[in-house]
Structure 1
Amino acid sequence: MKLNMSKIMFITIIVLSSLTSFSVNNWLTMWILMELNLFMFMPLMTKKKINDQTLKYFIIQSLSSYILVFSMLWTSMKINSINNLLTMISMLIKIGMAPFHAWKPELMNKINWNECFLLTTLIKITPLILINKMISFKLLILPLITTMIMSSFSGFNQLSLKKMMAFSSIFNLVWMTCAFSMNKILMISFMTIYSTLNWKMMKLFKKNNLIYKNQLILTPLKTKISMNLNLLSISGLPPLMGFFPKWIVINEITKNSMLMSFMMIMTSILMMFMYIQMNTFSFTNFFMTKKMNKLNENKTFMMINLINFPMMMLIWMN
């Protein structure tokens, strides 16, 4: 009971600190909120003792924080170009965007689905807000394009569902960053829809104890349909719920950068192909069962013919 209450307390603090960051303008306060999230999330990852993944996560997040504080020292010296670059690097490390993304899929592969949900939604809110408040969007274009290309290609060869969801999360970070650069309300709407779909998806994975892609074959038909609709919605397939915020973002981003909008559309098609591939894979067993039933019927018919053949031979000989 104590463990459950402590988990509830940690999650509540993460939720409150993430929501508080929307109304904060001071970088120091936002840094404190990010560190608070770090120290609340670490006990959720730790079961009985500190494991390797918890230690790696702490080191990566601490490194990111040190770079951020160091960049603020450069601000006092009025060297804005170095300050912006260091701030961008620190935040890219913290939320796991390319080229500093390698830790995120590996970490998600080792933690449970509840922790995966927190890592892909609430914990990245404060760094995203800080990115959009302190860094010029023009400076972000190259990392954003790199992130889209990397995540859209990396998801294809993954067998682990947690790693696939990690790359999906990294890909959607780009959309959230673009949404926030245009309108805070649009970013909140996008984040709410994405979090809802992500929660439903991970809840289905957890309920059916799914970890690898080949386990999708064994799920019931009702679960397959629900899962596939959620995946297609996350991919932004019209007219599902996930399509509308992406459509608004594309309309707005086209006015500022045609290259960015083109890359977002092309990489989204690649990500959609990955989701459709998962859908096709999950229904493999359903169609194979039908084929096996037909094969069994054919086998029965062949057995009847084989039994009748000696009897016909005996009748003919008599």
Structure 2
Amino acid sequence: MYFLNNSNKMFFTFILFFSTLIAISSNSWFGCWIGLEINLLSFIPLISSPFNLLASEASLKYFLIQSIASINFLFVILLKMTFFKNFLMDNFFSIMISSSMLMKMGSAPFHFWFPNIVEGLSWFNNFILMTWQKITPMILLSYYFNKNFLYTMIIFNIIIGAIGGLNQISLRKLMAFSSINNLGWMLFAIMISENLWIFYFTMYSFLISIMCFFFFNLNMFFINQLFINNISPLIKINLLINFLSLGGLPPFLGFFPKWIMINFLMNNKFYLLTFLFVMMSLIIIFFYIRITYTCLMLNYFKMKWLKISLKNNFLWLMNFFSLISIMGMILSTFLFL
């Protein structure tokens, strides 16, 4: 990876991981806030680049949004310390803290910054933003939340994440809306139990890492780049498998955490929410299939010397990941036996 031969990037990556541990292991709200601030100040040097105007713009936007959310969070902490004995304010405090955390994660309806910033980042930075940067806010959110408010946010996330991705031509924005949709699932998972959230989050991180690794190696940022005739059929089939796994189609690994979630929803009589989750997942799968179908069926010819293929070790790795995606469901069924 590019940061391994850059000492600055290595240092800030280490601080980024360390700050998350500070925030989630802190025993006071102030400690959590300090962890979040260190996290923000370590992520900005990773995403800003003097050679890329889009990345510089994205880092400035990210800083502004995260600062607003942090100020909001700090304001609520101070209020909570002032009105410590006032239980009537509890709902207000929980909604305000939840809103700050949701804004930091790029959750709907505070999501408008998220696709814009994603568009200016490299695939590796996108991977960090869509996975690691969600850990701290999500865990802080689980400490103190308002159930009804969170149910509303979950519905917002799954609907906006599905509808927003329909008219996108940028792969990065598509991944961003997919991330918003998955955030709805993760919010519900953390309301059930932290273990279920860890499981769902691990699976989601694994699948998103495959997609980011794939697009990074092929140097692809837009859907029409996938229609080039010279991409080898094996790469296209791997792409199909991993897209469908990320969408949560039954034979693949990505369906397993969703299956557990749907199981819980049905057992606890959340029928309307189950219906919404399943229908919005179908829309997500629809636009994934639309990409993979056109990628496999439509081709436009390029010069013979423009041969797109992965280096041998990367191709082996992609085949291995795809095998895990296919075998995942078979392995997971053994857990129920």
| TM-score normalised over the length of structure 2 | 0.80
Q: What is the one-letter code of the residue matched to 2:62? A: Y
Residue 136 (structure 1) shift: 2.5
Per-residue deviation, residues 166-209 of structure 1 (Å, max 9, x unmatched): 00111111111111111212111111111111111111101111
Give the stretch that moved more between structures: 261-270 or 41-50: 41-50
Match of 1:301 in 2: none
Contact 1:224 1:283 (C-alpha < 8 Å) held by counterparts: yes
Structure number with the higher helix fraction is 1
Contact 1:113 1:202 (C-alpha < 8 Å) held by counterparts: yes
Contact 1:71 1:84 (C-alpha < 8 Å) held by counterparts: no
Residue 138 (structure 1) shift: 2.4
Supply the distance in 1 between the matched residues of 2:60 and 2:295 (Cα, whole angstroms).
35
Match of 2:67 in 1: 62
Q: Secondary structure at the match of 2:298?
A: helix
Residue 258 (structure 1) shift: 2.4
Match of 2:296 in 1: 283
Contact 2:106 2:113 (C-alpha < 8 Å) held by counterparts: yes
Q: Secondary structure at the match of 2:253?
A: coil
Residue 53 (structure 1) shift: 1.9
Contact 1:71 1:82 (C-alpha < 8 Å) held by counterparts: no
2:253 corresponds, among 241, 260, 263, to 241
Match of 2:46 in 1: 44
Q: Does 1:185 align with 2:187?
A: no
Q: Choose 1 or 2 for highest CA Rg.
A: 1
Residue 2 (structure 1) shift: 9.2
Supply the distance in 1 between the matched residues of 2:195 and 2:76 (Cα, whole angstroms).
29
Q: Does 1:229 align with 2:241?
A: yes
Identity of counterpart residues, as a percentage? 36
Tell me how large the CA RMSD over aligned residues is: 2.0
| TM-score normalised over the length of structure 1 | 0.85
Task: Tell me the number of residue pairs that the alignment of Structure 1 and Structure 2 aligns.
Answer: 288
Supply the distance in 1 between the matched residues of 2:49 and 2:137 (Cα, whole angstroms).
26
Per-residue deviation, residues 79-122 of structure 1 (Å, max 9, x unmatched): 21221221122112111111110111010101110100000000
Supply the distance in 2 between the matched residues of 1:64 and 1:174 (Cα, whole angstroms).
19
Give 5+ residue unaligned stretches, structure 1: 290-318
Give the stretch that moved more between structures: 130-139 or 172-181: 130-139
Give the stretch that moved more between structures: 41-50 or 115-124: 41-50
Give the stretch that moved more between structures: 213-222 or 250-259: 250-259
1:264 corresponds, among 274, 277, 283, to 277
Supply the distance in 2 between the matched residues of 1:261 and 1:72 (Cα, whole angstroms).
35
Match of 1:6 in 2: 8
